[in-house]
Amino acid sequence: MRKQTKLVAVLSAAALLAIGASMTSFAAQGWQEESGTWVYYDSDGYKVSNEWKKSGNNWFYLNDDGEMATETLVEDGDYTYYVDENGVMAANRWVQVANDDDNSDDAPANYWYYFQASGKAYKAGDSTSFKTINGKKYAFDDEGKMLYGWVDGTSNRITDDEGWKESTTLYYCGTEDDGAQRVGWSQIHVINKDEDDEDQDYWFYFKANGKKLFAEDGDSITNKTINGRKYGFNSWGKMVSGWTEATAGEIPTASNYQNYSTSEDGSRRKGWFKAVPTDKINKEANQDDEEKWFYANNDGYLVVNQLKTINGKKYAFYDKGEMLSGLYALGVDDDNLIWGAEKIDSESKVKSYWAPKEEDAKAGIPLSDERATYVDENNIKLNVDVYYFGSSDDGSMKTGVQNVDVDGDTYAYFFGKSGNNKGKGFGSTTVGNYSDTVLGDGTVVKTFIYDKSAMYVQGRKIKADSDLKYEAFDAVGVKVSARSEGYKEEPLFLLNSSGSLMKNKKNVKDGNDMYYCTDGAGRVTYYGSEKCDSKDGVKHDKNNIH
């Protein structure tokens, strides 16, 4: 605000003579100049004091001594006036008056007053009432001083360093030389002892009535749409930025959080965005300043524990709300909600999803089709499938043939292309065309042979070691060498180093100079150090494991 500064109006000699002529024309009654000042005598010849007298179009005030007051505030009953250095009562203008009373550290050198057409200064009532002056709104205290800075609802300035945080602090009226009520956005310098750097510059939003927007009634955040974008404000009225726990809980979870961009922007994120996770959810990534991809719905809340289709592609988000990438074992229910997730980043983890546990084998527990199964607290078995979500900057669920890096080695995978099996590793407990294989003890397992030419387990193509050329695998993709002696009677399938199923083969020799014979389904009918010479490809000796 550009106020009218205090006017030092020096009257010309002609003007003073005119006033003097007017005043002296009354002789014994009226204005008289005495000892360099002006006085006024009534009709009885007494000097007037503590009264207003008019000369021409101007009003003048006679003080306690009966002298014309100049350049001072005049208290007349409940009203405050001001007369300038010529004694003229101020009207319709701002006046700056020196602070001669308050010597406190934060007291201003001067105060501003506004005097109406009647000469009366604007003053406060029982509650803060703003006066419109030259198109802007101002508030005044009960002495007529213009309020500035943070102001409450009872015409009091907030002088405490952190008083701006209080819900009773409703308005902001600029600096001591401004004073105009703020409406809309305003960046304000405050002191916040909760921050490492106490001095802060925060954004606030003031409603049309000038009141600060802030979260009320126990809410941690209140949201407001401004120019088509959503912003959040905390209980102090500060515009929030970054990660904000919008709905508080005893234990912070990603589903409670929203993200509000930077401290200079502040708009609430929706859709895709990349950010360093909050330390309350992912402390390690936060400390490493590692950015992750997130997706927020229109309400600002993160997609969490869900397989979600976005722009025609499917993505996975687990408990941290972060987009998953790479190879994952997921437990997903019929509503595409993810109840369990583990990244497959080592060869041992790959095997854990289909290899039988050694202790189970020794205990005589039969193999089954439930290699990738979790058991919950109620002993309910929950199936798990393997998915592939590409690189960290991609994340979309992959289908069909994929070459996947696991712990520095590349493996061939195949993922379902359509329907309920889309994205699931072919050869899981639920995905793919399979045949039932009866084990020696009568147990029936699902053997996943894709297109009658290759075996897959949880999406991974089973291959023989390149040095051995050929290797036998059991019905669920476990190498013969990994089997316990108790499973000699299980059907075995012969695969080469490319992963092709060896069907109707007779006397193919592996890298250890051992011979195999197979039937039309690729099942091993003979294995031994000598060739099989029988017509049906079967040799019944001590090395026969059919």
pLDDT in tens, 361-411: 444 444 344 444 444 454 444 567 899 999 999 999 999 999 999 999 999
How far is residue 10's CA from residue 284's CA, in Å, rounded to a whole number? 73
pLDDT at residue number 321? 97
pLDDT at residue number 434? 53
How far is residue 497's CA from residue 473's CA, in Å, rounded to a whole number? 12
Average the pLDDT over each of 373-382, 427-436, 452-461 and give the range with the smallest value. 373-382
Average the pLDDT over each of 168-177, 225-234, 238-247, 272-281 and give the range with the smallest value. 238-247
DSSP 243-294: EEESS--SS--GGGEEE---TTT-BPP-EEEEEPPPTTT-HHHHHTT--EEE
Mean pLDDT calculated for residue range 128-155: 95
pLDDT at residue number 481? 61
Reported as a single tens digit per residue, the pLDDT across 287-314 is: 999 999 999 999 999 999 999 999 999 9
Reported as a single tens digit per residue, the pLDDT across 369-383 is: 444 444 445 444 456
Could you tell me which residues come within 8 angstroms of residue 318 by beta carbon, excluding any fewer than 6 positions away? 304, 305, 324, 338, 341
Average pLDDT score, the chain = 83
325, 392 in Cβ contact below 8 A?
Answer: yes
496, 454 in Cβ contact below 8 A?
Answer: no
387, 403 in Cβ contact below 8 A?
Answer: no
Angle (CA) 123 128 132, round 5°: 70
**Whole-prediction pTM:** 0.74
Over 80: is that where the pLDDT of 282 sits? Answer: yes
Over 60: is that where the pLDDT of 541 sits? Answer: no
Give how far the C-alpha of residue 403 lies from the chain's centroid of Cα atoms, to the nearest Å. 35
Could you tell me which residues come within 8 angstroms of residue 466 by beta carbon, excluding any fewer than 6 positions away? 497
Structure tokens at 82: 């001001």
Could you tell me which residues come within 8 angstroms of residue 284 by beta carbon, excluding any fewer than 6 positions away? none
Three-class DSSP category at 98: strand
